[in-house]
Amino acid sequence: MSDNRTGLQGPAPDERPHPDGRRNAQGIRIDPEAESEHEPRRTVFSAIVEDEPGVLSRVAGLAARRQFNIESLTVGPTTVEGHSRITMVVEEPEPGIDQIEKQLAKLKPVISVGELDDDAVRAELVLLKVRGEDPDKVHAITEMYDGRTLDAGPETITVQLSGDERKIDDAVDAFRRFGIIEIARTGQTALAHGSKKTVPGEEPGTSGEPTKPNTNTQ
Amino acid sequence: MSERTAATTDPDATDGADDSTETPTEITSGSTSVVRALENAGVETAFGVQGGAIMPIYDALYHSDIRHVTMAHEQGAAHAADAYGVVRGDPGVCLATSGPGATNLVTGIADANMDSDAVLALTGQVPSDMVGSDAFQETDTTGVTAPITKHNYFASSPDTVGDTVGEAFALAAEGRPGPTLVDLPKDVSLNETDREPGPAQAPETCRARTDPADSQVEAAARAIERAEKPLLLFGGGVVKADATEVARQFATEHRIPVVTTMPGIGAMPEDHELCLSWAGMHGTGYANMAITHTDCLIAVGTRFDDRLTGGIDTFAPEAEIVHIDIDPAEISKNVHADYPVVGDAGRAIERVDAELGESPDAREWVEQCLTWKEEYPMDYAAPDNEPLKPQFVVEALDEATPDETIVTSGVGQHQMWAAQYWTFTEPRRWVSSHGLGTMGYGLPAAIGARVAADDDETVVCVDGDASFLMTIQELSVAVRENLDITVAILNNEYIGMVRQWQDAFFEGRRMAAGYDWCPQFDKLAEAFGARGWTVDSYEEVPGAIEEALAYDGPSVIDFHVDPAENVYPMVSSGGANGKFALSEDQL
């Protein structure tokens, strides 16, 4: 069958015109304004979710399979029956942070999700078990960080501290001199500053009508 | 009607699928409630395989007018349901038992998830009080399928299971379509209830925004107005949103050239002057030239898959990107969208069209695109001293079949040749596995498409030797149901795309790529009860195609094609679309 079939024709790759433009790894066209790659940023998401079996595994699974870097994840009940609040601290470059919010919003049990502002009120709780050889000094440091002694014996002393991440980090450093045997940190939980709503879904005295803020954003 | 009526397993139903809601199932148990929910949702057909934990659901189907097509393997059931949904535009339904039944569905569910195809999977599960005990045929099905479904459900009560199934069905079709699954513990199915399921509604937390924001529409329109080299990119979302007519009108009214993605094939008639066919790794040279040089890419319903974009750094490097999509998470996921428009594809195009003051002045650009069409024509050499070329077979099949023929495929070289050399003019006619790249998709998909299609439509499966062998058992289903399907195997005795890559990138070490051990497919087809042909030369092609198409039942033509033939043009993985190679030495 040798008819007029010639095979693919046309200028070879290096004979074609090629534009000068480029995009960076985030798919943004490189221009002076957007030339730099984005640095990872640490931020806090708060989500109201339906309290159903497997919801935490869905959130954690989503983060794992899309390679989102989670620093901490906490979950607990809210004032609305059947709704829980998840607080998630992540560290990602900018487009990744946007993706986390949008992907979380797609999960069926997620009623609302939002990134908290910098002025959000944040706290975490830590339990520290240290050697009990110097109880007076341990007590003094505990007082200094507004902590409480939960358990004290001849061998070990266990204290509880709470506060923002920076304070906890400082306190942990301060306790190192006694020899920290075990540590348990809850990870951050947070609410928006003042009367600002953290995310919809838990209005005091209301049932919290489910809303999905993501659907009207880009 | 023969293949429809032959399918039903219910001896009392003689009129097939067309009267499915005439006698709704009486609700006495969880399983009858499930079947009633399917009937309420308008389900006419389900594909599946029996098994212990799903038996109560099948027992309820015994009394239903829903047609059940028993498949040979659960993977086939999932693919058939997927293709049925693609052709019909409604979610396809598949059933499997617990354990291996459910895990066999996984490939098909993952395939539907990657291609945003609406599928509802119902799986049996061990009784609730045995869950977690490693009982016989127990698998954590919701755990296994969570990453590959829009959402899945573990049914907890016979009173609510009908609502759950209705919700899962509606969710599969809501917004960006996708697969959902309901896992049905045997006690939930068996236990008594008389509760009527409520109307099928997608969950409130998953309702998609269909009408885009004014500000987004305005910004997109301004960008399009000032473009000098505008290019439309129609993805699978245009087809799924049934936006083809609106999209075509927008392109022709404003004289904007169109490229499609592979799932978007058929959104624009490929014989239309403005249509540059599909872009990407094995897309046409002219589509890839246009995407490389456009200054305004108007992308509709696409997720910018890497096989389309090539390297992100060189993708449409001069273009401002208008991205219309119903899923906000697709905006700026892979490629930054300068002008996002979140909404239904058809509605968004209508809104942008209404907002557009004047068409962009793109006469020179259109001329340029037409010049590229002439400069880089799709063609293959077919010298006398070389064996039958696969591309010729595709062209001959296209020639011999009606315009609106449905074409399914497996994955690999044959899939690319089918997509390159078949001229598609309508949506929902090209049914393939794009995102997941599932070899073996073609035959079960042809079964699903055949069941979905009208009797006067033609269904062809273009398959590869290795792909066909992966789900060949479904041929028994096509025979049992007397489904009029023509399977064209482009048999090059290789897992051909791998062989092509080994030659190009692994110095020709053809490890595990040879398939010269395949059975004689014509004889195998006859053994199944289908008709079979073997074709070795150009002269035999038209006759075999004519006979196979004329045969009212499943037919298989084993085309022995040139094992050395490669798929070109080709953009190397991660390379620039504009640097597509026309032959191996240009890679």
* A79 interface with B at CB cutoff 8 Å: no
Domain count, chain A: 2
* B564 interface with A at CB cutoff 8 Å: no
Residue whose structure tokens are 């009623």 = A111
Is residue A54 domain-shared with residue A106, that is, in the same domain? Answer: yes
Q: Model confidence over A53-97: pLDDT tens digits?
A: 899 999 999 999 999 989 999 999 999 999 999 999 999 988 889
CATH code that applies to domain B2-206 = 3.40.50.970
Residues B169, B36: Cα–Cα separation, whole Å: 13
Among A116, A133, A168, identify where a domain stops: A116
Is residue A60 domain-shared with residue A109, that is, in the same domain? Answer: yes
Q: Looking at residue A55, which CATH number applies to its domain?
A: 3.30.70.260
Tell me if B1 sits within 8 A of B16, measured CB to CB.
yes
Query: Is residue A204 assigned to a domain?
Result: no
Q: Looking at residue A160, which CATH number applies to its domain?
A: 3.30.70.1150
What secondary structure does DSSP assign to B473-535, as a single string?
GGHHHHHHTT---EEEEEE-SB-HHHHHHHHHHSTT--TTTB-TT---HHHHHHHHTSEEEEE
For residue A118, is pLDDT > 80?
yes
For residue B380, is pLDDT > 80?
yes
- Give CATH superfamily name and number for B390-568: Thiamin diphosphate (ThDP)-binding fold, Pyr/PP domains (3.40.50.970)
Bridge partners for B45 per DSSP = B67
For residue B582, is pLDDT > 50?
yes
* B342 interface with A at CB cutoff 8 Å: yes
Query: Is residue A166 assigned to a domain?
Result: yes
Is residue A92 domain-shared with residue A156, that is, in the same domain? Answer: no
User: Residue A161 sits in which domain range?
Assistant: 121-190
For residue A21, is pLDDT > 50?
yes
Q: Model confidence over B467-516: pLDDT tens digits?
A: 999 999 999 999 999 999 999 999 999 999 999 999 999 999 999 999 99
Is residue A97 domain-shared with residue A58, that is, in the same domain? Answer: yes
Is residue A54 domain-shared with residue A93, that is, in the same domain? Answer: yes
* Phi, psi of A133, rounded to the nearest 5 degrees: -70, -30
Binary contact (B318, A21; C-beta < 8 A): yes
The residue of A23, A37, A57, A100 whose CB has the most chain B CBs within 10 angstroms, and thus the best one to mutate to test that interface, is: A23
CA angle at residue B443 from B434 to B9, to 5 degrees?
125
Among A68, A92, A116, identify where a domain stops: A116
For residue A213, is pLDDT > 60?
no
Is residue A96 domain-shared with residue A112, that is, in the same domain? Answer: yes
Binary contact (A7, B204; C-beta < 8 A): no
Query: Is residue A171 assigned to a domain?
Result: yes
Residues of B with active-site annotation: 74, 136-137, 186, 497
Tell me if B161 sits within 8 A of B187, measured CB to CB.
no
Q: Model confidence over B439-479: pLDDT tens digits?
A: 999 999 999 999 999 999 999 999 999 999 999 999 999 99
Query: Is residue A196 assigned to a domain?
Result: no
Tell me if B261 sits within 8 A of B197, measured CB to CB.
no
Tell me if B485 sits within 8 A of B461, measured CB to CB.
yes
Tell me if B181 sits within 8 A of B123, measured CB to CB.
yes
- Residue A96: per-residue pLDDT: 87
Is residue A185 domain-shared with residue A136, that is, in the same domain? Answer: yes
Is residue A103 domain-shared with residue A133, that is, in the same domain? Answer: no
Query: Is residue A112 assigned to a domain?
Result: yes
* A8 interface with B at CB cutoff 8 Å: yes
Pick one of 3.90.550.10, 3.40.50.1820, 3.30.565.10, 3.40.50.1220 as the CATH number of B214-375. Answer: 3.40.50.1220
Percentage, residues of chain B above pLDDT 90: 96
Residues B409, B489: Cα–Cα separation, whole Å: 10
Calculate the dihedral angle through the C-alpha atoms of A34, A38, A42, A48, rounding to the nearest 10 degrees. Answer: 60
Q: Which burial class, exposed, middle or buried, applies to A36 when counting CB atoms under 10 A from its CB (0-12, 13-18, 19+)?
A: exposed
Q: Where are the domains of chain B?
A: 2-206, 214-375, 390-568
pLDDT band at B13 (very low <50, low <70, confident <90, very high): very low
- Residue A35: per-residue pLDDT: 57
Q: Which of residues 387 through 446 in chain B touch A, CB cutoff 8 A?
A: 389, 392
Query: Is residue A5 assigned to a domain?
Result: no
Q: Model confidence over B79-130: pLDDT tens digits?
A: 999 999 999 999 999 999 999 999 999 999 999 999 999 999 999 999 999 9
Return the structure tokens found at B170: 């509606």
| Nearest alpha carbon to residue A49 among A123, A114, A124 | A114
- Considering only CB atoms, A108 lies closest to which of B151, B315, B382, namely B151
* A33 interface with B at CB cutoff 8 Å: no
- Residue A1: per-residue pLDDT: 61
Query: How many inter-chain contacts (A to B, CB under 8 Å) are there?
Result: 152
Tell me if A213 sits within 8 A of A199, measured CB to CB.
yes
3-state secondary structure of B543: helix
* B152 interface with A at CB cutoff 8 Å: no
- Considering only CB atoms, A210 lies closest to which of B205, B377, B578, namely B205
Is residue A145 domain-shared with residue A104, that is, in the same domain? Answer: no
